[in-house]
Structure 1
Amino acid sequence: MSSPGITVLGSGFGALSTVRELRARLCTAPITLISPRAELHYLPGSIWIPSGRRRREDLVVPLAPFFERMKVRHVQAEVTGLEDAGRTVLIRGAERIANDALVIATGGRFIRKLPGIEHAITPCEGISAAEEIRERLGAMAGGAIAIGFSGNPKEPAAVRGGPMFEFLFAIDTQLRREGRRGQFTLTFFHPKAEPGKRLGEQAVQGILAEMRRRGIQTHLGHKPLRFEEDKVVTEGGEIPADLILFMSGMTGNAWLDATALPRSPGGLVAADAQCRVRGWPRTYVVGDAGSFPGPDWAPKQAHMADLQARAAAQNLIDALAGRPETAGFKTELLCIIDTLEQGKLVWRTDARTIALPWLRPLHWAKAHFERRYLKRYR
């Protein structure tokens, strides 16, 4: 009887990197990947959609050719649960898919609990959100724009702050290029006095200095209470806003609630340093879906998902062969915060933190990385 093989849940950075790493390590086991669509949506590039520098078709990559090259069977469906300690995946329509090993890479979910959250756009929810920002900006003759983010208080790592700095600076740059900046006020808000501390003190001070240089107002150290159609209400007062961009902290996807998977206090899948789901043999988690041991500045970003995918792939192969699972991953924050014209490189490890000044070549480097990354899947 043939083996069920390996099942990967998701089609984002962590899932696709896991597939590549398995095949790069000469794993010949059958791979079934389950996701609602056979597409990669490259969300880091969505910061360039409002300015017209990117379009949807630039950032959506059909995955059928990649699946064919990697000999992957794609099942287009939504996961609804797990049985048999991970050996059976339930999908919508009551079908069951068996596996010898499972990788969970279905990403996270933004917490939408603040009253009036429907008045805010959450940019990292998808390309459609960036397109809505583009349309809203284009229709505004002037007004007030408020941009901010917060975290999951029970999961310090489950936050996406970097993209919000990028949307802030990119919108400022775009309005200046269009000769309209004088008709707008931009305000950045955050519940902490020093936003983005996971980037390191030097980077935070550089970002705040750039806001001052651009005339961007700040409203820091006050917890948001609610959003209204024309304002952000915080514990420290109100921020007028005709357009609100807000990124909340992340928690686990809703389908996890129908499983017995171990969860972190913040709602993510609890994993060990080898990306193994605690207490579930041959079941692994990578990327935003997981809660991993490590420093509280550990990032939720594609680079980190790639590092975790390497460890998960090697440990999965070793587990199937009956060998000890010892592969770990390093915690590393690596990003370029882009302004449409310049970029700031931030690199943080346990040993050091480096934050370069704003440089135009780093803007080009970010675009070059995008092209190289997507070439793997086109």
Structure 2
Amino acid sequence: MKHLLILGAGTAGTMMANHLRHNLKEDDWEISIIDEKEEHHYQPGYLFLPFDIYQPEDIVKSIAEFIPKGVSLIKNKIERIIPAENKVAMKTGEMLEYDVLIIATGAKIAPEETTGMQGAEWQKSVFDFYTFEGSLALRNKLREWQGGKLVIHITEMPIKCPVAPLEFAFLADSYFKHKHMRDKVDITFVTPLSGAFTKPKATAALDHLLQEKNIHIVSDFAIEQVDNDNKKIIDYGGQEVPFDLLVTVPTNKGDALMERSGLGDDLNYVPTNKATLQSKDYENIFVLGDASNVPASKAGSVAHFEAEILTENILLYIGGQPLKAEFDGHANCFIETGNGKALLIDFNYTHEPVEGTFPFPGVGPLRLLKESRMNHMGKLAFRWIYWNVLLKGTHIPFVSANMQEAGKHF
């Protein structure tokens, strides 16, 4: 019997376990998935937790609940991958052999990469919301915060869910309005990019939202340090932005396992063929989700689309057939804009976000690059879809893994 091994039981790994168990005969293939954690987190929910829109129980469930029958869940820490020997070494000393390896170990924040970020003010006046612990601590802070200078800051790209920091700024504007204290809060959005959005066309089309919500923007800011004593962030050019409350997105990196295994780049992302999702260095290793270095958005929708295409490619690989170079970098993301509205963007490697309708050409009901109540409802509905459809490897009807051009204005 052959062995397919999946590293990581997050979004990407869990979807692959479900897809492949449905497609590989149990008599021929043993499938195992490894993760040291007990809990599966709906990471998009981290955005809503600080504002009391979601509660912890809405975004945390047991990993085991979503692993399909016929897949072995191994709860252990991985020490390193030994690709030359087709083995994975566990922290316990055990060696696991594989015929096919899928890396889905995700990305993590690395606040230690920035001087002072984890200093005396960490989780006092300096917070992240890219971890459950950070998001929960920030919720508790916002409940009692009396106002002042709120700075939302991105350290560097790439990051998970590139629009999330901007969504946080929009939701903060709405949150403080509802608390009748918006006039006591000065909101500044600080980014290393030249505009608020990662895509220039989106910035041009949506920059008015920042102006309407009285959110100041500081662009091209390459942070050097967080000055805890004086409560300000300083960039390499000497520019300073003072804060009373700093909500920062630290450097994002792939799992340290990749560094230990000699498989990652400078940020521990695994070099991956952007169209086939096969490792550039080892033909029986495949990578998807935030763990790879493909130039697509690090978002849950991307992992979903990748999983559908990668499932077919793994079946082709097992059958000795050429892989299909079909993944086009498709991403489909809701952007909360506050006050019960949201935007929807759809793009890929070659197309920036465009106007149009989704998922049905000319019909919608969702509108691209337009604020609407319907888009907001779609964002909230996605949590149910995530737990009950996506993780189980069920295809979402009418939503293609590749970006469709019909109904869009290029």
Same fold per superposition (TM over 0.5): yes
C-alpha distance after superposition, 1:252-285 (max 9, x if no partner): 2211122132x34543111113111123131111
The residue type equivalent to 1:253 in the other structure is: D
Q: Which residue does the alignment assign to 1:136?
A: 141
* Distance in 2 (alpha carbons) for counterparts of 1:208 and 1:86: 52
Q: Give the Å deviation of 1:135.
A: 0.9
Secondary structure in 2 aligned to 1:196? coil
8 Å CA contact 1:7–1:32 kept in 2: the answer is yes
Q: Which residue does the alignment assign to 2:360?
A: none
Q: Which residue does the alignment assign to 2:373?
A: 360
Q: Which residue does the alignment assign to 1:314?
A: 312
Change (3 A) 1:215 1:10: same
8 Å CA contact 1:151–1:249 kept in 2: the answer is yes
Q: Give the Å deviation of 1:210.
A: 1.2
C-alpha distance after superposition, 1:122-166 (max 9, x if no partner): 221x222111111111121121110021424xxxx5564311011
Q: Give the Å deviation of 1:73.
A: 0.9
The residue type equivalent to 1:34 in the other structure is: I
* Distance in 2 (alpha carbons) for counterparts of 1:193 and 1:329: 28
Q: Give the Å deviation of 1:86.
A: 6.0
Q: Give the Å deviation of 1:26.
A: 4.4
Q: Which residue does the alignment assign to 1:287?
A: 289
- Give the RMSD, CA atoms, in angstroms: 2.1
**Is it true that 1:101 corresponds to 2:134 in the alignment?**
no
Q: Give the Å deviation of 1:4.
A: 4.8
Q: Give the Å deviation of 1:287.
A: 0.8
Moved more, 10-19 or 234-243: 234-243
Q: Which residue does the alignment assign to 1:192?
A: 193
**Larger RCO, structures 1/2 (Cα 8 Å, 6+ apart):** 1
* Distance in 2 (alpha carbons) for counterparts of 1:184 and 1:351: 37
Moved more, 142-151 or 23-32: 23-32
Q: Which residue does the alignment assign to 2:403?
A: none
Between the aligned residues of both structures, percent identity stands at 22
* Distance in 2 (alpha carbons) for counterparts of 1:321 and 1:332: 26
Change (3 A) 1:351 1:114: closer
Q: Which residue does the alignment assign to 1:115?
A: 115
Change (3 A) 1:86 1:158: farther
Write the mapping of 1:118-267 to structure 2, written as runs, cut at 5 A.
118=118, 119=122, 120-124=126-130, 126-152=131-157, 157-158=158-159, 160-198=161-199, 200-201=200-201, 203-229=202-228, 230-234=231-235, 235=237, 237-261=239-263, 263-264=264-265, 266-267=267-268
Q: Which residue does the alignment assign to 1:89?
A: 88
* Distance in 2 (alpha carbons) for counterparts of 1:351 and 1:277: 25
Write the mapping of 1:277-356 to structure 2, written as runs, cut at 5 A.
277-292=279-294, 296=295, 298-326=296-324, 328-340=326-338, 341-349=340-348, 350-351=350-351, 353-354=353-354, 355-356=368-369
**Is it true that 1:371 corresponds to 2:377 in the alignment?**
no
**Is it true that 1:46 corresponds to 2:52 in the alignment?**
no
Q: Which residue does the alignment assign to 2:278?
A: 276
Secondary structure in 2 aligned to 1:117? coil
Q: Which residue does the alignment assign to 1:55?
A: 55
* Distance in 2 (alpha carbons) for counterparts of 1:224 and 1:327: 38
The residue type equivalent to 1:237 in the other structure is: Q
The residue type equivalent to 2:134 in the other structure is: A
Q: Which residue does the alignment assign to 1:21?
A: 19
* Distance in 2 (alpha carbons) for counterparts of 1:54 and 1:139: 18
* Distance in 2 (alpha carbons) for counterparts of 1:372 and 1:83: 36
8 Å CA contact 2:21–2:71 kept in 1: the answer is no
C-alpha distance after superposition, 1:56-100 (max 9, x if no partner): 111112132332x43211111121101253621112111211222
The residue type equivalent to 1:284 in the other structure is: F
Q: Give the Å deviation of 1:345.
A: 0.8
8 Å CA contact 1:34–1:77 kept in 2: the answer is yes
Q: Give the Å deviation of 1:15.
A: 0.5
C-alpha distance after superposition, 1:146-200 (max 9, x if no partner): 0021424xxxx556431101111111111110111111111111123313233x4
The residue type equivalent to 2:127 in the other structure is: I
TM-score by length of 1: 0.89
Q: Give the Å deviation of 1:115.
A: 1.1
The residue type equivalent to 2:372 in the other structure is: L
**Is it true that 1:36 corresponds to 2:41 in the alignment?**
no
Q: Which residue does the alignment assign to 1:8?
A: 6
The residue type equivalent to 2:191 in the other structure is: H
* Distance in 2 (alpha carbons) for counterparts of 1:356 and 1:196: 12
The residue type equivalent to 2:379 in the other structure is: K
TM-score by length of 2: 0.82
Q: Give the Å deviation of 1:13.
A: 1.3
Moved more, 346-355 or 332-341: 346-355
Q: Would you say how many aligned residue pairs link Structure 1 and Structure 2?
A: 363
